[in-house]
Amino acid sequence: MSIQVFGTPVSRGVAIGRAVLVASSRVDVAHYFVPTERIDSEIERLRVARDAVSTELSTLKRDLPPEAPTELSALLDVHLMLLHDESLTGATKQWIVERHYNAEWALSAQLEVLARQFDEMDDEYLRERKADVEQVAERLLRFLARAKPGQAVPAGAEVPRARDFGGEEPLVLVANDVAPADMIQFKRSVFTGFVTDVGGRTSHTAIVARSLDIPAVVGAREASRLIRQDDWLVIDGDAGVVIVNPSPIVLEEYRFRQRQSELERARLNRLRHTPAVTLDGQAVELLANIELPGDAAVALEAGAVGVGLFRSEFLFMNRGGDLPGEDEQFVAYRDAVVAMQGLPVTIRTVDIGADKPLDRMSLQELRHEHALNPALGLRAIRWSLSEPDMFRQQLRAILRASAYGNVRILIPMVAHMGEIRLTLDALARARQQLDDAGCSYGQVQVGAMIEVPAAALAVGRFLDHFDFVSVGTNDLIQYTLAIDRSDDAVSHLFDPWHPAVLRLIADTISQAHARGKGVSVCGEMAGDAAFTDLLLAMGLRSFSMHPARIAAIKQRVLRVDTRRLAAGLPAVLSAEDPALEAARLFAPVLSAPSAA
């Protein structure tokens, strides 16, 4: 039976594929295809893991102290029995043979199947055995991870696809929640779409999904409960709908739409190296947002004229507290700078906290176990200033990378003059330390992100201390409207068109211009063509976005006359419904040079 699940669209397009259900706690399990010639050795890996876990459990049982409760010994027997049960390791083998899944993926796929079966059992005692199967599988997964680290496809190598093995394509990931750091590992993954139960439009998980440029729906509430392993799914990333086991007619309709959007994409791609200049001759800078140094090549390929936001925190996440040292960071920043071939690279100092914890945590854990409201807590520059050694290390690493190209430093979530003073002091000390050590570095501009209302309202003062500002609209909207950007329960209230938000953005841009300082927008609004006219009308000439959005925004830029847009701005800003007024005033296109 076909059903539909509704959520929040976060990344456009249509994906059609088989569901791969992954428990949130196991999203980091390696997912890759095993070539035919390695199937036997993959099964051998699984067998070795099973034998090792069997020995581990038997030893545990043998070494139980005499005073240990008798249930413990019985429990270990149950675990041993489950370990050798065909429904676990036997069926896992089948996933490897038939689907070419690697052992970890095959095991977690089978675990999802078994978990469903247990959930549906009437007998409470039997239902509770699910936890035992999960514990046994966790032991196996831990052994596999230890025994064969780095088994995944090496960086730079082609990711084998299911079709290479005659398998059905493509695959769509379905999970309750995916942490941003886990999402990033899917940059080179086998999945062609994502569905998650939780998350808002501008949560960091959604942002990374968008940067992967594959259709995604978040906040689909019950999706991971309603969807079964291997179900056929259509993800409509434009409407935010997931169709489970679609009828042949619906499937054909979506296949048609998929082909259309591929054609549109190819058409837009031709604009890659066309300069972004409006009809009235205004040059517009289209920069890229990146998460990892390897993304710089993608940015160049997409026609970016620089990096407007390098979210450096992704270098710090999921490392079990083992943060990258100065040299490791320096190499990462230098690689991005060198890859951009002299174009500007804006490196944001670490923005950890809120929905980007250092280590993997579900949003629920974050909220309930750590801070009541992490978005208002020790985040971004607040965190950096609370870790002065780490902060200076990062500043030194960035400064050292500036010897290799054009580097700018961007400070996230500045709200207070005191933070500015401390930041600039830390930078001066970092420079002094490099001078003392005889290390070279280049000229570096320093900018602040304007992403809390306090910063937008005090931007005139802030600009006395900074060379440029970059408006982080994702957080500016979150903090202006008091809407948690990662909470799907309030995502319908997240409104970039709110008059207060528009006023703060417009004022920031005009204040920067009045002082002759650079201003850019690097939040998701910059990459959304629905806001291009509005931002151009406000005088913005520098936009930073996911590389995949550059061509579409450029197409819009090429078609507009900024004088006409600017003339309509006062009416939009004072309108009861700015979105409606903007649609009325801005939508008409004067002439249409296009990629066609």
- Stretch binding Mg ion (CB under 5 A), from 169-177, 237-245, 466-474, 575-583: 466-474
Q: How far apart are CA 284 and CA 478, in angstroms?
A: 27
Nearer to ligand PEP, 404 or 494 (CB): 494
Span near Mg ion by CB under 5 A; candidates 138-146, 252-260, 449-457, 463-471: 449-457
472 binds Mg ion (CB under 5 A): yes
Angle between helices 473-481 and 499-514 (to 10 degrees): 130
Which does residue 473 touch among Mg ion, ligand PEP, none (CB within 5 to 8 A, set by kind)? ligand PEP
Closer to ligand PEP by CB, 112 or 524: give it: 524
* Type of residue numbered 391: F
Q: Using CB under 6 A as the criterion, what x/- string covers residues 416-455 for binding ligand PEP?
A: -----------------------------------x----
Looking only at residues 123 through 182 of this chain, which bind Mg ion when binding is defined by CB under 5 A? Answer: none
Respond yes or no on whether the N-terminal peptide bond of residue 35 is cis (omega within 30° of 0). no
What CA–CA distances, in Å, run from 201 to 493, 517, 548?
11, 31, 17
Tell me how far apart the alpha carbons of residues 99 and 18 are, in angstroms, rounded to a whole number: 12
b vs e for 371-387, b when ≥16 Cβ sit within 10 Å of the residue's Cβ?
eeebbeebbbbbbbeee
Query: CB of residue 476 vs ligand PEP: minimum separation in angstroms?
Result: 7
Among 355, 475, 484, 533, binds Mg ion (CB under 5 A): 475
Using CB under 6 A, which of 419, 475, 484, 488 touches ligand PEP? Answer: 475
Q: Let me know: does 512 contact 257? Beta carbons within 8 Å.
A: no
Nearest 5°: CA angle at 154, between 151 and 156? 165
451 near Mg ion (CB under 5 A): yes
Of 476 and 585, the one with the shorter C-beta distance to ligand PEP is 476
**Cross-strand partners of 218:** 8
* CA dist., res. 219 & res. 511, Å (int): 37
- Site stretch for ligand PEP (CB under 6 A), options 70-78, 209-217, 471-479, 506-514: 471-479
Cβ of residue 555: shortest distance to Mg ion, in angstroms? 27
Number of residues in the chain: 596
Using rule CB under 6 A, residue 487 touches ligand PEP: no
Shortest Cβ 472–ligand PEP spacing (Å): 3
Catalytically annotated residue among 31, 79, 100, 204: 204
CB atoms within 10 A of CB 55: 10
Of 219, 472, 496, 547, the one binding ligand PEP by CB under 6 A: 472
Whether 209 contacts 219, CB under 8 Å: no
Touching ligand PEP, residues 493-522 (CB under 6 A) = 522
The upper half-sphere exposure of residue 234, i.e. CA atoms within 13 Å in the direction of its Cβ, equals 23
- Name which of 265, 277, 272 is nearest 288 in CA terms: 272
Nearer Cβ to Mg ion, position 112 or 475? 475
| Interface with ligand PEP in residues 300-339 (CB under 6 A) | 309, 311
522 is catalytic: yes
Kindly state the smallest distance separating residue 428's Cβ from Mg ion, in Å. Answer: 25
φ, ψ (nearest 5 deg) of residue 232: -80, 135
Query: Closer CB to ligand PEP, residue 111 or residue 456?
Result: 456
Q: Which does 108 bind (CB under 5 to 8 A by kind): Mg ion, ligand PEP, none?
A: none
Residue 393 as a binder of ligand PEP (CB under 6 A): the answer is: no
- Residue from the set 104, 182, 295, 351 that interacts with ligand PEP by CB under 6 A: 351
DSSP output for 159-210:
PP-GGGGT----EEEEES---HHHHHGGGG-SEEEEEESS--TTSHHHHHHH
Distance CA 98, CA 72 (A): 37
How far apart CA 41 and CA 62 sit, in angstroms, is 31
Residue pair 217/195 in contact (Cβ under 8 Å)? The answer is yes
CB of 567 to Mg ion, least distance (A): 32
**Binding positions for ligand PEP, 188-207, rule CB under 6 A:** 207
Give the nearest distance from C-beta 49 to ligand PEP in angstroms: 38
Query: In this chain, which stretch among 18-26, 192-200, 280-288, 472-480 interacts with ligand PEP, using CB under 6 A?
Result: 472-480
Alpha helices by DSSP H, listed for 372-469, are 380-386, 388-401, 417-437, 453-457, 459-462
> Candidates 44-52, 84-92, 129-137, 469-477 — which segment interacts with ligand PEP by CB under 6 A?
469-477
Q: Which residues are catalytic?
A: 204, 522
List residues near ligand PEP by CB under 6 A. 207, 309, 311, 351, 451, 472-475, 522-523
List residues near Mg ion by CB under 5 A. 451, 472, 475
